[in-house]
A and B are shown apart, each in its own frame.
Chain A
Amino acid sequence: DTGVSQNPRHKITKRGQNVTFRCDPISEHNRLYWYRQTLGQGPEFLTYFQNEAQLEKSRLLSDRFSAERPKGSFSTLEIQRTEQGDSAMYLCASSSAPGLGYNEQFFGPGTRLTVL
């Protein structure tokens, strides 16, 4: 399977704990995006990388959140001191970098986080 993969698929944690999610994009894609989807809502943009550079961060990404893409391949999203409001589906997507225009974002299955 050469699609976007995310691990773990589910994570249950207690409030105050740290969690880390991993995303493996499609291998030839140099752009990687993170979105968050809460119940009854559409996905909301969090951040994106081009290669290893983090080019944009949403205001939703508080200082408890950090994302990395150290070698321009896989990415990790860490949440420190989790809160119940962090419970959501965290989606990763990848695309090739567009020239003029738009390249399709391919989404992974997501990591569902439950904070107790």
Chain B
Amino acid sequence: DAGVIQSPRHEVTEMGQEVTLRCKPISGHDYLFWYRQTMMRGLELLIYFNNNVPIDDSGMPEDRFSAKMPNASFSTLKIQPSEPRDSAVYFCASSLARTGEDEQFFGPGTRLTVL
């Protein structure tokens, strides 16, 4: 398996534009997580899905952020409109649902810069 795949790897956009980040989890994994990492706040969980259903979106900073998982092999995180404070590295991760304490497999991340 190729691991968790994210695209794009880098995104530079201007304030007010819509940004869409994409993630393909590892085949067969039941959970998908979206994180944001900054120097100031570290790695923060934004939202996670179990079997394509959103379980907890309490980490989503505000209504400008939305996430979908239309099928088991694809998820998107959308920011509309984007703001400079959204600049960060966004990671997608996936895991199995065997024990409730399963390790998470992270993608390479998308580095977002909002000018």
A binds B: no
A residues with CB within 8 A of B: none
B residues with CB within 8 A of A: none
